[in-house]
Amino acid sequence: MEISGVVINLLPLQSGQGKNGTWKKQEFILETPGQYPKKVCMNLWGDKVDEIKISVGDKITASINIESREYNGRWYTDVRAWKVQKESGVGGGRGSDAPLPAEDNFVPDNSGTDDLPF
């Protein structure tokens, strides 16, 4: 599954020691676009925490796995991102100070005179 939105909050990094060694988890809140935006708490585990650098305000599309598990008669749902793509900014990925392609620099002459010889 994929979900897109804006990262609105990064929760504190969690880490610990388990039977398989040290683990770490980074949770973040994603807000989906639309008339009725939804907030989704998602997480990155293990090496993904260091590989995928996200910040508040990033527009992302995340590939996710959703899994629920039972513990002491209660069910808990986990939304784990395994791939995150940051979306480009306005203008097809050009930065605000990047030069425009030549065709975008064309300004028509509307003076009404024609210098053509024919």
Q: What is the pLDDT of residues 40-90, one digit of tens each?
A: 999 999 989 989 989 999 999 999 999 999 999 999 999 999 999 998 755
Mean pLDDT of the residues in the chain: 82
Find the mean pLDDT for residues 7-20.
Answer: 94
Burial code (b: 16+ CB inside 10 Å, e: under 16) for 84-96 equals: beeeeeeeeeeee
pTM, whole model, 2 decimals? 0.69
Using the predicted structure, report yes or no on whether residue 92 has a pLDDT greater than 60: no
Round to whole Å and give the CA distance between 70 and 23: 21
CATH code, 2-88: 2.40.50.140
